[in-house]
Amino acid sequence: MEVNKFRYGPYSPSRLDVATCPARFKAEYIDKIDKGPMSGPAKRGSIVHVVLESLLKRKLKGETKFSNELIREEVANACAAYSTNDAIVVEFAYDAAINFLEHMPFDLETVFGVEEDLAVKHTDEGWVQCEFNDPECMFRGKLDILMIDDDKAIYIDHKTQPVIEEANTFQMGVYSWMLSKCYPYLESISSILYFCDPKIDYYSQPFEWTKNHIQTIENILMIRAMSVDKLEKFDEIPNFYCKYCPISSDCGVSKEYFEKGTVFGKSPANVITSAEQAMESASAVTVLDEGRSKLNKNLQKFVKEIGPVAIAGKEFSYKQYASYEAKTLGCKKVIYDIIDKNGIDPFTYFKLDSNAIKQVYKTLGADAINEIKKNLTLVKKSRFGSRKL
C-alpha cells in the first residue's frame, strides 16, 4: 500500500476506535448504515461543546459581561439544535457554562483557534497540512481550544465524562502529531484535558509531547490505520466501545456464545475452567449488557408515552415512591440532635462518603482540608466490574 493512499480514510482517533470492532467499522464507514438517533451522552457532549465554543468566541470578541439571560439563550439554542429539552442535560450544560466562564486558566491573547481543524496528507515532501475535506487528506481532527505563543503550542480538549484521566491519551498524541506537521516551527506542544462535568470542573496538568513521543505516535497511528485498510474479514470483536455501537443488538457474539452451550448457555451448571472460556464470557457479557441497556431505554420510553406493559407474571411500569430530605441545613441539624439525644449515634445515619468529601474539599481552604485529612483513614475495597483499558 502506498503511504499516501487509504481505502477507508481519512482516519481520526474516533474512527480508529470504531475499528476496534471490524464489524462495526464496516457497518458505519463502508456500508454507511443509518446510525439512528444520537445517544444521550453523545448529545450532551455535543451541546456542551457548542455552548463553550460560543461563549469563548464571545470572550475573544471582547465581551466581558455574561448575563443569565445570555447564558440561557446559548444553552437553549444548543439544546434546540440537538432536539432535546431533557432537564438533566439542560442543567448539566448550564452549570458547565457557568463553571467555564468562571474558570478559564489561560491567556485569551494566545488563543489561536477555537474548534480548530487539523488535517494532514502525505506528499513527495512528506507530511503537510491540507484542507479538512481535501480528497487526499489522510488524518484529521478538531481542537477545542488551540493556543500558540511564539514556538509553543498548548491545546485544550473538553471532556464531559465523569471520570478524570491524564492528558497523554492516544487521541491527544494524534492531535499533537498533526500539530507538529501543520505548524512545523513549533518547538513545544502540550495537551490539557478540561473535564466539564459540573461536579468535576477540572483542568488536567499539561502533558508535553516530546519529539520521541510524537514519533512513536506516528508509528502507532500508521500501523493502526494500515491494519484497518488491509482488513479482509470484518469480525465482531466486543470492546469498551460497544456502548456506542449502532449494531450491537445484531451482534453475533452473544448468539454464538449461547449456541456453544457455555456458562450461560445450554449448560448453566458449567463453571469457567479456562482463560478461553473466561474471555468468551466477558465478550458475551459486554454485548448482552449493551443490548439490554438499549432495550431497556426503548421499553422505558414506550411505557412513559403509552403505558404499562405486562407479560406472564410481570409488569413493566413506572411506580411512585416517596423519599425524605431535610427541608434546610438547619433542619438536618435538628434531626441530628434529636437522634443524638435518644442515645443513638447520629453518624450511623449521617455518613460521610468519598463523594461528599470531594465536594467539601472544593469549598474549603488548604488548612481546613489538611485538618480534615488528619481525621480520615484510607479504607480499600474491591468491587467487581469492568473498566476502560
Q: How many CA atoms are closer than 13 Å to the CA of 272, on its beta-carbon side? A: 10
Return the pLDDT at 265.
Answer: 47
CA distance 242 to 254: 13
Supply the pLDDT for residue 50: 97
Give pLDDT, residue 259.
67
Using the structure block, give the residue that is written with the C-alpha cell 427541608: 327
- pLDDT given for residue 121 in this prediction: 96
Whole-angstrom distance, CA of residue 286 vs CA of residue 166: 25
Q: Which residues contact 301 (CB under 8 A, 6 or more apart)?
A: none
Q: How many helices (H) and strands (E) does the chain have?
A: 12, 9
- Angle between the 40-60 and 87-102 helix axes, to the nearest 10 degrees? 30
Q: What is the mean pLDDT of the chain?
A: 88
Task: Look at the chain and count its residues.
Answer: 389
Q: Give the span between the Cα atoms of 138 and 3, in whole angstroms.
A: 10
Q: Is the dihedral of CA 58, 42, 133, 77 positive or negative?
A: negative
Burial of 44 (0-12, 13-18, 19+ CB in 10 A): buried
Per-residue DSSP letter, 228: H
Cβ atoms < 10 Å from Cβ of 268: 9
User: What residues form DSSP beta bridges with 309?
Assistant: 316
Predicted local distance difference test score (pLDDT) of residue 269: 45
- The pLDDT value given to residue 263: 46
Rg (Cα) of the chain, in Å, rounded?
Answer: 25
Q: Is 188 helix (H, G, I), strand (E, B) or coil?
A: strand
**What per-residue confidence (pLDDT) applies to 287?**
81
- In DSSP notation, 113-160 reads EEEEEEEEEEETTEEEE--TT-TT--EEEEEEEEEEETTEEEEEEEE-
Please, what's the largest Cα pairwise distance for the chain? Answer: 84
Residues in the chain with pLDDT values less than 70: 1-4, 257-270, 385-389
The Cα–Cα gap between 211 and 173 comes to 11
Q: ω before 41 within 30° of 0 (cis)?
A: no
Q: Where are the domains of the chain?
A: 13-36+105-228, 240-302, 329-373
The Cα–Cα gap between 129 and 119 comes to 6
Q: What is the crossing angle of helices 366-373 and 354-363, to 10°?
A: 150
